[in-house]
Structure 1
Amino acid sequence: MDNLLNIVTGISLFISFFLAFFMLTVKTKHKTSNYLFAFFLIITAIDTSEPLISQITNGPSNLGMFRAMLCFLQIPTFYLYVLSVCYSDFKWKPKYFIHLLPYLVANLVLLPRFYLVDVDSKLDFIINRQNMIELQINHWLLHLQIVFYFTAAFLVLRKSKKLYLENNSGGSLNSYQWLFQFISVLATLYLIVILKNILKFSDYPYISDWIKIGILMLQPFITCWYLYKALNNPGLFRNIDSKLKLVSDLILEDKKIEPETLNEDLLKLKQYMTDEKPFLNPDLKIQDISKEIDVPVRELSVLINHQLGQHFYDFVNTYRIENAMKILKDTSKSKVTILEILYEVGFNSKSSFNTAFKKQTGNTPTEYRKAV
């Protein structure tokens, strides 16, 4: 079993460091995101390298404990990565150093009875680890950190997706779904880690060891899955400005908007959409329409997302689908493919076109063409 565990750990380390090297060297304008994820991969790989390191070390050491405490940097780094992917204007700020606090606290707790003592005392500390209050404190601190940061990551993703729907019409939501899947997989993995740590201080420590082996065997598969997804979604989305506000917040700020103003703006909006057909632009944003019809973005956003009861994303897609329906009904264009139609009306992916079309008509584009 030890040999198998060493082989799996070695493969996992190779894949993690290879992907980290790729993220650090690939040419892209999103360097901060790549650096953050590369750092996450590296510290995770170092943290899970214990089976191999134990083969070449003679006993407990300060360096070994520092390695073990790197787990406190993993989730904060991943959270910052999620922020950098969701928001196009993400930049490193000094305030982000506050995320080092759990790591510093975890090490300070170990200072008196581990870092500052001799080797024999360190060995005694490890042997009696189940009774050491310092390790119990650190385990509970790690558990709280995992719950806090993954909750924060899900909240960031939910808010950025909503902002995207309220301000953008282009692209696809597949990237959000993929990132949601990835966060969910990691959250599940870390919840299993919590279970492992709880069992470590129970009467069933051997179960904790088996869970640890399972995690080490899963890690290379998860890393490969991420690599596959990353290579197939190199741009992700990064369409949201973090300074944007949700419509619900704008309504609270504005308190009251004159009905006459809303009616005038609505007429201007509908006239512009019908005459100029801006929806044919696959990258159309609410700011583009605001500029053309001379209506402030705040008022236009409230009008569409609140008064009309539609996200801007759905509002624009309604016009695109209506245009696509006209083409599908036209017998003279029966040889025009679905793919050609979706690009012609402003979509840029087949999946988003099919989803929007079925949502509005109840049929897929192919079914609709056959029915008419």
Structure 2
Amino acid sequence: MGKIDLLVIVTIISLFISFFLAFFLITVKTKGRLSNCLFAFYLVITAIDTSDPLFNLMVNGPSNLGMLRSMFAFLQIPTFYLYVLSVCYSDFKLKPKYLLHLLPFVVVNVILIPRFYAVDVASKINFIKSYKSMIELQFNHILITVQLVVYIIAVFVALKKAKKLYLENNAGTNINSYKWLFQFAIVITIIYLIAILKNILKFSDYPYISEGIKIGLQISQLFIVCWYLFKALSNPALFRNVDSKLKLVKDLISEEKKIGPLGVSEKVYDEELLKLQEYMIAEKPFLNPSLTIQDISSDVKIPVRDLSLLINHKLEQHFYDFVNTYRIESAMGILKDATKSKVTVLEILYDVGFNSKSSFNTAFKKHTGFTPTDYRKAL
């Protein structure tokens, strides 16, 4: 079996899995429907972009359809960016302003009209053969490089902000979902950086290396889609997103400083802190694995803004860590109780409000310096 035959088979398998997963994401009933649709669209346009080996078997020579297919690459990273936003923020909605993300795709196609889309086949063939000297193709490769760098930075900025908002306002253990999304973004970034290298080599004296990298990217696409499919099926509720209207504590402090001294006095802070601590001990809201700062605000009758400043600024703790402190203290009490020596660590972590063993172990060791098992043995 030749290299080309193998590449075609890999492409067919990759296309099948991509379209199958896209169909599943669009049709499955879930709260994150918009996120699913965006990722389905990302899968489809990525599949179209990487279908080159199969497309060349069906279409002989350069064509408008073939060029348009390759230009779909300009839609990939903007779609991925919107997908990340939709996953991070529960109130994300598509707005007319997001049409601006289509601008690079429109521009690159418009500049190809005079010397490619609007000419005969012979002129198209000459255009492709002379690709190194064609200003349109050079411009397109520079533009997609700039686009990739800008959007990759935007993706990680969005993830960093969303994670911080989550830590300041939520105490659920679904923070692992953000870690997974971050890992996925890292993988996508590596792929796109390799694609940039491929494009640079294409216009160098080593185009054969560019072709080799292209084959590697084709094959990696299959593994990435399979990896995502495995994650999606093993953990259907991947993310617990936050409200984009929430503000980071540093922004709240900045706003307060512009107005004048912080609006809440030290005495009021002390009273609210005592009220909060008594509530946490008496009502044990931390046993709820999906606890949010809004939940506590409603119960203790302290505005979310003031409560956020109290915990994140005054106590210098993320809400996530603040709640986990009570969970760990509760777990330590169970571990110390000789009458509960038969209760497993797994049972304890669920009892105190965790729903992830890794999150429980990490938080416990951060608080005590021991793993739960070692702590029990040391008693």
Q: TM-score, normalised on structure 2? A: 0.96
- Structure-1 residue corresponding to 2:333: 326
SS of structure 1 residue aligned to 2:112: helix
User: Is the CA contact (8 Å cut-off) linking 2:42 and 2:79 kept in structure 1?
Assistant: yes
- Structure-1 residue corresponding to 2:278: 271
User: Is the CA contact (8 Å cut-off) linking 2:87 and 2:241 kept in structure 1?
Assistant: no
Separation (CA, whole Å) in 2 of partners of 1:276 and 1:54: 66
SS of structure 1 residue aligned to 2:60: coil
Deviations along 1:99-135, whole A, 9 cap, x unmatched? 1001001111111111111111111100100110100
Identity score, percent:
69
Output the amino acid matched with 2:137: L
Deviation of 1:238 (Å): 3.1
Deviation of 1:172 (Å): 2.6
- Structure-2 residue corresponding to 1:87: 89
Deviations along 1:31-60, whole A, 9 cap, x unmatched? 111111111111111111111111121211
* Count of residues paired in the alignment: 372
- Structure-2 residue corresponding to 1:138: 140
Deviation of 1:158 (Å): 0.8
- Structure-2 residue corresponding to 1:217: 219
Once structures 1 and 2 are overlaid, which stretch shifts more, 323-332 or 250-259? Answer: 250-259
1:200 aligns with 2:202: yes
1:44 aligns with 2:51: no
Unaligned runs of 5+ in 1: none
Of 31, 34, 41, which residue of structure 1 is paired with 2:33? 31
Separation (CA, whole Å) in 2 of partners of 1:121 and 1:239: 51
Equivalent residues in 2 for 1:247-266, closer than 5 Å: 247-255=249-257, 256-257=261-262, 258-266=265-273
Deviation of 1:231 (Å): 1.1
- Structure-2 residue corresponding to 1:160: 162
User: Is the CA contact (8 Å cut-off) linking 1:175 and 1:233 kept in structure 2?
Assistant: no
1:350 aligns with 2:352: no
Deviations along 1:123-173, whole A, 9 cap, x unmatched? 110010011010000001000111111111111111111000000111332
User: Is the CA contact (8 Å cut-off) linking 2:349 and 2:360 kept in structure 1?
Assistant: yes
Once structures 1 and 2 are overlaid, which stretch shifts more, 340-349 or 239-248? Answer: 340-349
User: Is the CA contact (8 Å cut-off) linking 1:86 and 1:157 kept in structure 2?
Assistant: yes
Unaligned runs of 5+ in 2: none
Separation (CA, whole Å) in 1 of partners of 2:98 and 2:173: 30
Deviation of 1:88 (Å): 0.8
Separation (CA, whole Å) in 1 of partners of 2:38 and 2:353: 34
Of 78, 84, 97, which residue of structure 1 is paired with 2:80? 78
Deviations along 1:258-279, whole A, 9 cap, x unmatched? 2222112111111211222211
Of 225, 228, 243, which residue of structure 2 is paired with 1:226? 228
User: Is the CA contact (8 Å cut-off) linking 1:166 and 1:313 kept in structure 2?
Assistant: yes
User: Is the CA contact (8 Å cut-off) linking 1:89 and 1:241 kept in structure 2?
Assistant: yes
Output the amino acid matched with 2:132: Q
- Structure-1 residue corresponding to 2:297: 290
Deviations along 1:4-51, whole A, 9 cap, x unmatched? 111111111111111111111212121111111111111111111111
Instruction: Give the alignment's Cα RMSD to 1 decimal.
Output: 1.0
Deviation of 1:357 (Å): 0.5
Deviations along 1:157-196, whole A, 9 cap, x unmatched? 1111100000011133211111111110010001000000
Deviation of 1:236 (Å): 1.5
Deviation of 1:239 (Å): 2.7
User: Is the CA contact (8 Å cut-off) linking 2:174 and 2:240 kept in structure 1?
Assistant: no
Q: TM-score, normalised on structure 1? A: 0.98
